[in-house]
Structure 1
Amino acid sequence: MSENELSELGPVDFLVVEFPAGQQSFTGEIAEELVSLVESGTIRVIDVVILTKDENGDVDAVELSDTGELGALLQIEAELAELLAADDVIHLANAMDPGSVAGVLVYENLWAAPFASAARRAGGQLIANGRIPIQAIIASLEADEALATTGA
């Protein structure tokens, strides 16, 4: 990428979605939703890695482009940059449970690119960001509801 293209990049995030052993039911819906996000211009896929961790803790990492049948993902496969290094994969796999499969997605937030570029032009730099897991939001709402119900 040229320096000009890099200055126009939106924030780049990653996420890891784990599918525990016995709870994996891949129907293609995830791929369809990912393609939809790319087609709508919401995100640009930078890298996708599929991790499998066997019962002994051994990890196998496969780039999306090496999986063979891509189906709906064929449309975004050409944009993959294979950004994750082997050390990154090992670090991410440490969080996985034995017998699980995980998808690692690295993506650019295209929707935020104009704001991020404007902030950089103004001399700003991102110094922190975070994500609140939906489970924490649900727990907080349930706690608030329980408190309101008991009147405490």
Structure 2
Amino acid sequence: MVETSLDALGPVDFLIVEFPEGQSTFSGEMAEELVRLTDSGTIRLIDAVILAKDHQGGIEAMELSDVGDLGALQTLEAELAELLAEEDIVNLAAAMDPGSIAGVLVYENLWAAPFASAARRAGGQLIANGRIPVQAIIASIDADEAPEPRDTPETPGG
């Protein structure tokens, strides 16, 4: 991983992409998009791990270097910091369904680094962040667009 001053570091996030049993593929379009995001300077990949959770809850963690043919991901693998500890792996795998495979990405948001640096220089600090699931946004939009229930006129004497 390229050395970065802590003063210039952007926000760091993680995400987990889970695949049901027998449906995992970490190559192809997903790998190409990850390479595109790093090549464009949008993100810097810090760590990437593949987790397998068996039906009894046992967890196997593999670094990208443990995987055979990486395809497009080969260029990213050499720069990874391997930041995640065993305790992190256990906590991340808790979100997984038994029998599933998941890819875990830890990445720096390079696009936000200049703003984050300016905020720190101004004496500010990030005290919270979060994500709104896309499904929640879609549900909210659908609820706003739904026709309002019509008021039914009261029946006289009723």
Same fold per superposition (TM over 0.5): yes
Name the structure 2 match of 1:52. Answer: 52
Name the structure 2 match of 1:73. Answer: 73
1:72 CA drift (Å): 0.2
Structure 1 residues 98 and 117 mapped into 2: Cα distance closer, same or farther (>3 Å)?
Answer: same
Name the structure 2 match of 1:18. Answer: 18
Structure 1 runs, 4 residues or longer, greater than 3 Å off = 22-27, 149-152
**Per-residue deviation, residues 7-59 of structure 1 (Å, max 9, x unmatched):** 11111111111112254455511100000000100000000000011122111
**Per-residue deviation, residues 113-142 of structure 1 (Å, max 9, x unmatched):** 111111111111100000001011111112
Name the structure 2 match of 1:38. Answer: 38
**What percent identity do the matched residue pairs reach?**
71
Structure 1 residues 70 and 145 mapped into 2: Cα distance closer, same or farther (>3 Å)?
Answer: same
- Give the paired residue count: 150
Whole-Å separation in 2 of the counterparts to 1:75 and 1:60: 24
Equivalent residues in 2 for 1:1-152, closer than 5 Å? 5-24=5-24, 28-146=28-146, 148=147, 150=149
- Give structure 1 stretches of 5+ with no counterpart: none
Q: Is the 8 A contact 2:27 2:72 kept in 1?
A: no
SS of match in other structure, 1:52: strand
Instruction: Determine which structure has the larger helix proportion and give its number.
Output: 1
SS of match in other structure, 1:114: helix
- Give structure 2 stretches of 5+ with no counterpart: 152-158
TM-score normalised by length of structure 1: 0.90
TM-score normalised by length of structure 2: 0.87
Q: Is the 8 A contact 2:15 2:106 kept in 1?
A: yes
Structure 1 residues 100 and 94 mapped into 2: Cα distance closer, same or farther (>3 Å)?
Answer: same
SS of match in other structure, 1:38: helix
Structure 1 residues 122 and 70 mapped into 2: Cα distance closer, same or farther (>3 Å)?
Answer: same
Q: Counterpart of 1:36 in structure 2: which amino acid?
A: R
Whole-Å separation in 2 of the counterparts to 1:35 and 1:25: 16
Structure number, greater radius of gyration: 2
Whole-Å separation in 2 of the counterparts to 1:128 and 1:42: 21
